[in-house]
Amino acid sequence: MVDFDNLNQTESTKAKSRGWQGAVLKLLGADDYLLTVTSNEKVTDEYIRLGFTGGGLLSDRPVHPTMWVRIWFENKHGKLHQRAYTLVDPDPATDSFHLEFAIHDGAATRWAAAAEPGDTISSTFMGSKFAIPEPAPAGWLIAGDTAALPAINSLLDAISASANPSSAATVWFEYAHESDKSLPLRLRDQDTINWIKRDRGGDALVEAVRDAAFDATGHFGWVALDMKATRAVSSSFKNDYRLGKSGVKAQAYWRAGAPES
């Protein structure tokens, strides 16, 4: 059973060492922001959404699709480590946004489950960038899972506001729990969703993508899964779907088998 006691972090976490990750980010000119919790909503039994004010983040940084920030969490050993989260519905006028957490036994979701309005946590911004390609793609191929849900929704919103808003997206979405199917995926009438149950080896989604291959020249591919699946699906989009290297944006959001913190 996860112990949720005494998990809230405050400004005092800044005094703790961020290790080599923090040192590298600082050398590269990353900026720090103190986020303040404004709300905590349980979307499903396996998914949490927290509201935040950004401590100046959205005043300093222009909003873009799939925009993300690094959050510093304290693990069971009292050490800080960072995880990246996509901003949900960022509002520059109020410097506010939401972050969403798929629940598992890790430092991030332990903190999120216990967070209350007024709690604060440190963040670092650097490296987040993405823009709708020009000319606008004829269609979209998107592969992700619950960790990528906020980014997928951000992307679908951006497509609707792009130069080709009617372009359809084919989405392969890997889920672990039946309740994941009720998550707020912002599909439009022209979009197609393929729900893929996560299997032990993590290969079901990869096989589904390969089996559906067609000549998708002129489309754009976007992939955010675990490291192994991201590589495999990205390769399939580039080769089996004929998108080429420049036609795919891929980033692994997590690594299967990595120890929890």
Q: What per-residue string of b and e applies to 170-208 under the rule 16 or more CB within 10 Å gives b? A: bbbbbbebeebeebebeeeeebeeeebebeeebebbbeb
The structure's pTM equals: 0.86
Single out the residue of 135, 25, 118 nearest to residue 72, CA to CA: 25
Single out the residue of 171, 167, 168, 38 nearest to residue 96, CA to CA: 38
The pLDDT score that the predictor gives to residue 11 is: 40
Rounded distance between C-alpha atoms, residue 59 and residue 105, angstroms? 34
Q: Specify the DSSP class assigned to residue 258.
A: P
> Residue 44 burial by CB count (10 A; 0-12/13-18/19+): exposed, middle or buried?
middle
120-125/220-224 β-pairing: unpaired
CB 52, CB 41: distance < 8 Å: no
The pLDDT score that the predictor gives to residue 236 is: 98
The pLDDT score that the predictor gives to residue 129 is: 82
pLDDT along the chain (261 residues), means of 10: 36 49 54 95 95 96 94 87 93 97 88 96 86 93 96 96 94 95 95 92 91 97 94 97 96 67 56
Rounded distance between C-alpha atoms, residue 108 and residue 69, angstroms? 13
The pLDDT score that the predictor gives to residue 23 is: 56
